[in-house]
Chain A
Amino acid sequence: DAGITQSPRHKVTETGTPVTLRCHQTENHRYMYWYRQDPGHGLRLIHYSYGVKDTDKGEVSDGYSVSRSKTEDFLLTLESATSSQTSVYFCASRVGGEGTEAFFGQGTRLTVV
């Protein structure tokens, strides 16, 4: 299995506060992704990265920003957390864009109160 870790694993935060989730991979994968999982919606793509400092929006990017200053780290920031952002967040990485599978982290359960 690819070495991909997410931190923190659980977080409770208050509405209006900034939150940063970290994804770290040790496989030198070029592509990295952030998803959120919600009942009835499956895994929805928030943002993804196709290289250092190269990122693009996914399906549900409003309210989120990302940064990738090193190949191994992909950060997801909620600038001002809202209750609608309560979810389970998954990070994934992929060695090459085409014809390869993505490997997922264990997830971060975020609760905004």
Chain B
Amino acid sequence: DQQVKQNSPSLSVQEGRISILNCDYTNSMFDYFLWYKKYPAEGPTFLISISSIKDKNEDGRFTVFLNKSAKHLSLHIVPSQPGDSAVYFCAASGEYGNKLVFGAGTILRVKS
């Protein structure tokens, strides 16, 4: 039972345009959500997070939006850069914060 879903395996965007990565979750007990970025042969690195008490969090070119009623979050990257090309994982935690569950990832390719 996959509790965190990233339904788009890949996304290709032009440099300078917006990248939008989506994530859905099923467990209503999740109250903290994170995005990670992963390059080949490296461990995932933390990008941005959002608590369930907020609906938006921004950090430079990266913005995460949370829609609790729809159990949906999205990551916006504006403007996209070739160095953003990587695998992006959505993650969620809750239920006392112990478990940290990840989605299947989305491969982002930014074309120059």
Binding site for B on A (CB under 8 A): 31, 33, 35, 40-45, 48, 50, 56, 58-59, 90, 92, 94, 96-99, 101-107
Contacts and interface: CB of A to CB of B under 8 A. Distances in A.
Contacts of A31: 98
A28 B43 CA distance: 20
B34 A101 contact: yes
A48 B32 CA distance: 18
A84 B46 CA distance: 28
Nearest to A102: B100
A99 B97 contact: yes
Interface size of B as a range? 20 to 34
A106 B43 contact: yes
B45 interface: yes
A94 B99 CA distance: 11
Interface of B: 6, 9, 31-32, 34, 36, 41-46, 49, 51, 89, 91, 93, 96-105
Contacts of B43: 90, 92, 104-107
B103 to A, nearest CB: 5
A94 to B, nearest CB: 7
